Structure 1
Amino acid sequence: LREFFVPGVDGKIRLGDVMRRAKERLTRNSNGTKVSDPNKLKYCLIGDPAMAIPLPSHDIVVESINGEPVGDNSQAVLPANSVVTISGAIYRPDGEAATDFNGVICYEVYDAETVGTSVETIGSSSLEMNFNTRSYKLAFAADTVVNGRFEATFRLPAQCLQSDGTGLISLYAYSNDMSVEAKGYNEDFVINGMDAAAPDETAPVIDNVWVDTPSFSEGDAVPSSTVFHCDVSDEESGIAVDELSVGKTAVLWLDGNVLSSELSGQYSPALGFGRGSIEYALSNLSVGNHTLTLRVFDNAGNSAERSVSFVVESAVSTAYELTLDTDVVTDQLVMSIGGAVEEGMVVRYVIADAHTGDEVWTEETASLQTAWSVVSGTASAAPGEYLCRAYITVGDNHIVTSDKKIVVLGQ
């Protein structure tokens, strides 16, 4: 484990180097003298030894909370329901300020630690082990970094643990060109007391609701495996992401049945406090009409609800199955549909981001084969996972193929 944090000569930490150095360490005695023990140098690595471990190179330092400097064993006292402003800077590995760093910073605010218990049963006896954990996330937001400095404002929920233990702010930042990452945290505060601010009685806003693709319209046909998306906002109190308010977190229903009552993992913050989006993957939906309903809460307990209806199309017959010439793409992908071309047939080929559902490429044609180039003009598809499908229209029949997953490798 110690070798995981030792960068190579180029500043990167690669899996093969970690294994090699760890094995070499085993061939030295307590005095550091190398001893001959070939068996300890043998190992089997199932993976790519050249794979770099994605650890941020730069550091994030929170320098003030509500305008007061932090550090030197001082702790800020933050009342529940209060507005908090943090500011700080990005630093290079050599300790110098990264004044050329411009990008986005994401931060999560956690309440004080609580004690959890793990129980392991061995035969007829049970062993209990206590551990400290931070179970309650109070805020999750993003903001901008300009010339290596940032300032972010958020509101704490009214319901907090009211503990004397310190809270935690976990921070991560990336540059606009995605070439540099930074990480950091701060525990120089406690959350105690209550701010007597006027209550927020305004409900959050749910908009930009779609299924499968941003061009979706109410009642559109979608494939059986797709994605639900919406934007949510509440800039006064923030969207509730904590688990303290039982029954007051986001809930998603499908046709009146609870699909998920824990959507914090599907929430992604947008720039600025209280704004973000929810994306939920749907799979193996039955053919026919469906309605999704989302309810979200803000940190003041106000709620909003929004529904969207859609139709799941019949899966295409095996005669029209989509096939790919490869599932690992470096420059070009050929997509083909087995079967005969029928009069008036229209085929729309789609390649979409596997995680967001956003269409990155589409082509409408009468042909049962087409090619997609990773690099098109000056733009290129980012490395990652994508889904391929085809929508086929023959007269009044609208059918869709099952999704095929591909992986695009970096150039």
Structure 2
Amino acid sequence: MTVSMPSEIADNYRPATMVFSATDNSSDGASGCERGVYVYGMDDSQPLDTVAPVIESIYLNHPGFSDGGKVDQSPMLIARISDNVGINLSTAGIGHTMTLRIDGRESFNDIASYYTPASGSQAAGTINYPLTALAEGHHTLELRVYDTSGNEAIATLSFYVDSQLAPEIFDIYTDVNPASTQANFYLSHNRPDAVLGITVSVYSMSGILVWSTTVNDRSDMFTSAPVTWNLTDRSGRRVPRGIYIYRAEIVSGATRKVSPARRLAVTGH
């Protein structure tokens, strides 16, 4: 196996730690480390890398974000980056560390800890960095990333923080339609990795409430945790076959938003 190392490690003649992890097809995992290795020196035979990394996309909270758009006070910065050789995740090199700067003043140097490599052999991955307690009003941010040869890429965003901004629901859907035993409801939204209160309600075609439940759970980035309906009414009886209307309400802090209504067909037993 060949690994591209940051150039700053050339004179670091000290014991290093190599961490390994593995999974099999059944998702069982294993991990371990080796501390008896040394990493140092330079390979002068390697061609000079002058190609900068690429920030393929950068946005706040959701891919639908537009530069200058509104966000809540604790948005998540999401950026997809890649390089032809390797991304520098080291914090040892002064000036070559992944850095995020807000309004040209406040700097964050722990960005590499929030980087997730993409699967496969490509030198690419995603940064999911949570910002917290931003002040109301207009802001700018600047993201800097480096490759292992010290080449730099910069991307900027402007945005407006609105503390009263309601969460946006882009869609609500089920994993099955028609449903015969149960249905799992999912919401697509712009509150990534946030703890959300979600109420899903099911109505008859005549508008009578058949079933409703509220859950509080952490979302999986842009998608809520599943809310499961076992096709029974509020009395616990199995609902008859037919067409039902469902919708959801999402609550984040003091703000809330109601989804559009959708239809779900229920079959017989």
TM-score range, shorter chain: 0.5 to 0.7
Q: Tell me if structure 2 keeps the 8 A contact 1:204–1:303.
A: yes
* SS across alignment from 1:167: strand
Match of 2:251 in 1: 389
2:76 equivalent to 1:223: no
- What amino acid sits opposite 2:142 in the alignment? T
Give 1:163 shift: 5.5
Give 1:269 shift: 1.5
Give 1:246 shift: 0.8
Q: 1:184 to 1:390 in 2, by over 3 A?
A: closer
Q: TM-score, normalised by structure 2?
A: 0.60
Q: 1:224 to 1:291 in 2, by over 3 A?
A: same
Give 1:299 shift: 1.4
Higher mean C-alpha deviation, range 301-310 or range 189-198: 189-198
2:199 equivalent to 1:334: yes
- 1:12-411 equivalences in 2 (<5 Å): 85=1, 153-160=2-9, 162=11, 165-175=14-24, 178=27, 180-187=28-35, 189-196=37-44, 197-236=46-85, 238-271=86-119, 272-315=121-164, 333-334=198-199, 358-361=221-224, 374-375=227-228, 389=251, 401=255
CA RMSD of aligned residues (A): 3.5
Q: Tell me if structure 2 keeps the 8 A contact 1:201–1:302.
A: yes
- What amino acid sits opposite 1:264 in the alignment? A
- What amino acid sits opposite 1:213 in the alignment? H
Q: Tell me if structure 2 keeps the 8 A contact 1:223–1:402.
A: no
C-alpha distance in 2, partners of 1:186/1:401?
49
* SS across alignment from 1:233: strand
Q: Tell me if structure 1 keeps the 8 A contact 2:7–2:150.
A: no
- What amino acid sits opposite 1:401 in the alignment? T
Q: Tell me if structure 2 keeps the 8 A contact 1:353–1:359.
A: no
C-alpha distance in 2, partners of 1:352/1:275?
30
Give 1:177 shift: 5.3
Q: Tell me if structure 1 keeps the 8 A contact 2:21–2:32.
A: yes
1:55-113: CA deviations, max 9, x gaps? xxxxxxxxxxxxxxxxxxxxxxxxxxxxxx1xxxxxxxxxxxxxxxxxxxxxxxxxxxx
Give 1:207 shift: 1.9
- What amino acid sits opposite 2:227 in the alignment? V
Give 4+ residue runs of structure 1 displaced > 4 Å after superposition. Answer: 163-166, 351-354
* SS across alignment from 1:154: coil
* SS across alignment from 1:192: coil
C-alpha distance in 2, partners of 1:253/1:279?
15
Q: Tell me if structure 1 keeps the 8 A contact 2:200–2:227.
A: no
Give 1:201 shift: 0.7
Q: Tell me if structure 2 keeps the 8 A contact 1:241–1:264.
A: yes
**Which gives a bigger RCO, structure 1 or 2 (Cα 8 Å, sep 6+)?**
2
C-alpha distance in 1, partners of 2:256/2:77?
17
* SS across alignment from 1:159: helix
5+ residue gaps, structure 1? 1-84, 86-152, 318-327, 337-350, 362-371, 378-387, 392-399, 404-411
C-alpha distance in 1, partners of 2:50/2:229?
49
- What amino acid sits opposite 1:374 in the alignment? V
Q: Tell me if structure 2 keeps the 8 A contact 1:290–1:311.
A: yes
Give 1:251 shift: 1.1
Give 1:264 shift: 2.2
C-alpha distance in 2, partners of 1:228/1:162?
34
C-alpha distance in 2, partners of 1:296/1:218?
20
Q: 1:212 to 1:352 in 2, by over 3 A?
A: farther
Give 1:352 shift: 8.8
* SS across alignment from 1:265: helix
C-alpha distance in 2, partners of 1:274/1:352?
33
Counting aligned pairs with the same residue, the percent is 29
Q: Tell me if structure 2 keeps the 8 A contact 1:251–1:262.
A: yes
Q: 1:333 to 1:229 in 2, by over 3 A?
A: closer
1:312-360: CA deviations, max 9, x gaps? 224169xxxxxxxxxx99xx95379xxxxxxxxxxxxxx9955x7x221
Give 1:308 shift: 1.3
Q: 1:186 to 1:265 in 2, by over 3 A?
A: same
CA radius of gyration, larger in: 1
C-alpha distance in 2, partners of 1:175/1:198?
36
5+ residue gaps, structure 2? 167-194, 202-215, 231-249, 258-269
Q: TM-score, normalised by structure 1?
A: 0.41
- What amino acid sits opposite 1:201 in the alignment? T
1:129-187: CA deviations, max 9, x gaps? xxxxxxxxxxxxxxxxxxxxxxxx42122222546555332012234554x11112345
Q: Tell me if structure 2 keeps the 8 A contact 1:206–1:306.
A: yes
Residues matched between the structures, number: 194
C-alpha distance in 2, partners of 1:222/1:352?
21
